[in-house]
A and B are shown apart, each in its own frame.
Chain A
Amino acid sequence: MRGVWLTAVRAERFKTGCLSVTALAEHGKRTAAMNAVLPYVLRRGTSRLPDMESIAGALDDMYGARIEPAIRKRGEIAALGFCADFPDGAFLPGRPDTLGAVAALMGELLLSPATKGGRLRADYVESERRNLLDDIAAEINDKRSYASLRLTGTMFRGERYGVPKLGTAADAERISVATLTKYYKELMASAPIEVFYCGAEPTERVAALVREALSPLPRSAQIRMPVTENAWVVPEGQVRRVTETMDVTQGRLCMGWRLSEAVPDPDRAVLAVFNAAFGGSVTSKLFTHVREELGLCYYAESVTDRWKGALFASAGIDFDMAGTAEREIAAQLDALARGELEDWELEGARRAVVNAVTSVLDEQSGLEGYYLDRSIAGTGLRPEELAARASLVTREEIAAVAACARLKCVTFLTAEDEDADET
Chain B
Amino acid sequence: MLTKRDYPRLGETACVGELENGLRLTVAPKPGYRKSLAFLAVNYGGADRFYEKDGERLESPAGAAHFLEHKTFELEDGQDAMSLLAQRGANANAFTSPDMTAFHFDCADGLEDSLRLLLRFVSAPSFTPESVEREKPIITQEIRMSEDDPEDVMYYGLLRALYEYAPLRENVAGDIDSVEAMDAETLYRLHRDFYVPANMALVVTGRADPAEIEDICLESLPPSSRPRPVAVSPGQEKPGPVSVRTKRAMDVGAPMFLAGAKAKSGLLGRESVKFELTATLALSAVLGTSSPLYRRLYDEGLINETFGCAFENVAGVSHLSFGGETRDPRLVCLRVLEEAAALAARGLDEAFFERQKKTAYGGAIRSLGSLENIAYNLAAGTFAGYDYFETLGVLDTVTAEDCRGFLAAYLTAQSCAISEILTKER
What is the interface of chain A, defined by CB distance below 8 A to chain B? 11-16, 40, 51-53, 56-57, 59-65, 85-88, 91-93, 123, 127, 130-131, 134-144, 246-250, 281-283, 288, 291-292, 295, 297-299, 316-318, 344, 347-348, 351-352, 354-356, 358-359, 361-364, 387
Contact = CB atoms under 8 A, between A and B. Distances in A.
A131 B92 CA distance: 38
Most buried by A among B142, B147, B299, B369: B369
Interface residues of B, number: 69
Contacts of A246: 251
A92 B362 contact: yes
Given A57-B355, A92-B361, A363-B370, A316 B252 contact: no
Contacts of A60: 290, 355-356, 358-359
Contacts of B33: 13, 362
Q: Which 5 A-B pairs have the closest CB atoms?
A: A13-B32, A137-B253, A63-B362, A64-B359, A56-B290
A43 to B, nearest CB: 10
A362 B35 contact: yes
A348 B151 CA distance: 34
B87 A347 contact: yes
B88 interface: yes
Given A63-B365, A140-B251, A282-B92, A362 B34 contact: yes
Given A52-B295, A56-B290, A362-B35, A295 B148 contact: no
Interface in B291-309: 291-292, 294-295, 298-299, 301, 304-306
Interface stretch (B44-52, B78-86, B233-241, B265-273): B78-86
A351 B89 contact: yes
B289 interface: yes
Interface stretch (B96-104, B133-141, B402-410): B133-141
Contact of A64 (B92, B358, B424): B358
Nearest to A387: B108
B141 A298 contact: yes
A57 B144 contact: no
Given A13-B33, A91-B9, A351 B86 contact: yes
B362 A65 contact: yes
Contacts of B137: 295
A15 B369 contact: yes
Interface in B366-383: 366, 368-371
Contacts of B325: 134, 138
Nearest to B12: A15
A138 B138 contact: no
Contact of A63 (B86, B106, B301, B361): B361
A355 B304 contact: no
B83 A16 contact: no
B253 A134 contact: yes
A130 B299 CA distance: 12
Interface in B136-159: 137-138, 141-142, 144-145, 147-151
Contact of A87 (B31, B142, B301, B365): B365
A63 B359 contact: yes
B97 to A, nearest CB: 19
B397 to A, nearest CB: 16
Contacts of A288: 80, 83
A358 B35 contact: yes
Contacts of B83: 282-283, 288, 348
Contacts of B298: 52, 127
Contact of B362 (A14, A87, A249, A358): A87
16 contacts: A15-B11, A16-B369, A51-B295, A63-B359, A63-B365, A123-B299, A134-B304, A143-B148, A143-B149, A247-B250, A247-B424, A250-B147, A292-B80, A298-B144, A351-B89, A356-B91
Contacts of B259: none
A408 B370 CA distance: 40
Given A134-B253, A362-B206, 5 more contacts: A15-B369, A56-B289, A316-B141, A318-B141, A387-B108
B150 to A, nearest CB: 5
Interface of B: 9-11, 30-35, 80, 82-83, 86-92, 106-108, 134, 137-138, 141-142, 144-145, 147-151, 206, 250-254, 288-292, 294-295, 298-299, 301, 304-306, 325, 355-356, 358-363, 365-366, 368-371, 424
Contact of A317 (B141, B361, B369, B371): B141
A167 B292 CA distance: 32
Contacts of B141: 250, 297-298, 316-318
Given A14-B369, A283-B83, A64 B304 contact: no
A348 B88 CA distance: 7
Contacts of A123: 299
Residue with the highest number of chain A CB atoms closer than 10 Å, among B141, B325, B424: B141
Contacts of B368: 15
B95 to A, nearest CB: 15
Given A14-B369, A134-B254, A59 B290 contact: yes
A24 to B, nearest CB: 24
Given A13-B32, A63-B358, A127 B147 contact: no
Contacts of B289: 52, 56
A13 B31 contact: yes
A298 B138 contact: yes
A60 B355 CA distance: 6
Given A56-B289, A141-B253, A281 B365 contact: no
Given A15-B11, A16-B366, A91-B10, A142 B86 contact: no
A134 B298 CA distance: 13
Contacts of B145: 144, 250, 298-299, 316
A423 to B, nearest CB: 22
Contact of A131 (B30, B304, B424): B304
A85 B90 CA distance: 28
Given A52-B298, A91-B11, A288-B83, A355 B91 contact: yes
A82 to B, nearest CB: 14
Nearest to B91: A355
A240 B141 CA distance: 27
A264 B91 CA distance: 31
A4 to B, nearest CB: 27
B38 to A, nearest CB: 13
Contacts of A347: 87
A291 B138 CA distance: 8
A85 B367 CA distance: 11
A15 B253 contact: no
B414 to A, nearest CB: 30
Contacts of A63: 358-359, 361-362, 365
A344 B295 CA distance: 55
Given A15-B365, A60-B359, A351 B144 contact: no
B35 A64 contact: no
A61 B254 CA distance: 34
Contacts of A140: 251-253
Contacts of A282: 80, 82-83, 86, 92
A288 to B, nearest CB: 7
Nearest to A57: B290
B138 A361 contact: no
Nearest to B206: A362
Contacts of A364: 369
B108 to A, nearest CB: 4
Nearest to B9: A91
A359 B106 contact: yes
Contacts of B290: 53, 56-57, 59-60
